[in-house]
Amino acid sequence: MTLRLYKIGERALEDREGARRAEIPAEKIQGPILLLSGRKDAVWPSTYMAGQLVSRLESKEFVYPYEHIVYDSGHNGLIRNRDAWRTVFDFLDKNFRPDARLNEGVHHQQAAESPISEAF
């Protein structure tokens, strides 16, 4: 079933005009964005699509912090990954605490490698 979903997603991306119409205008978000993807995701091409979103943010000169972290795991592997959870909580703490300054120290990171940590 999951492989079938992945193939459906791949075929949908081949329709370039349809994919363009389906793009989420993430550059209109007024705050930080964290993207986590699994290189071995068999449900949908998450790493590719997150990379496309990062490219869009770069081309639109997005002013808020954003990160794309790629893990060497599948779709559900991120849920059990301690490093992924630490990354999420650190990002939230850094960018959404009441005293956070959103436009200072903007960092952009695309497809940074991160090892898989042991499961909980």
pLDDT tens digit sequence for 100-112: 665 554 445 544 4
- Quickly state the pLDDT bin for 80 (edges 50, 70, 90): confident
Residue 38 placed within a domain: yes
Q: Into how many domains does the chain fold? A: 1
**Contact 102/32 with Cβ under 8 angstroms?**
yes
Mean pLDDT, the chain, rounded, equals 80
What is the three-class DSSP state of 18? helix
Q: For the residues 45-73, what does the mean pLDDT come to?
A: 93
pLDDT tens digit sequence for 89-101: 999 999 998 886 6
Position with higher pLDDT, 56 vs 8: 56
Residue 19 placed within a domain: yes
Backbone torsion region of residue 110, taken as left when φ is above 0, otherwise alpha when ψ lies between -120 and 50, otherwise beta: beta
**Contact 55/89 with Cβ under 8 angstroms?**
no
Residue 119 placed within a domain: no
pTM value surpassing 0.85: no
Question: From CA 22, how far away is CA 86, in angstroms rounded?
Answer: 31
Its domain, for residue 82, covers 2-114
- Quickly state the pLDDT bin for 115 (edges 50, 70, 90): very low
Tell me the one-letter amino acid at 52.
Q
Residue 120 placed within a domain: no
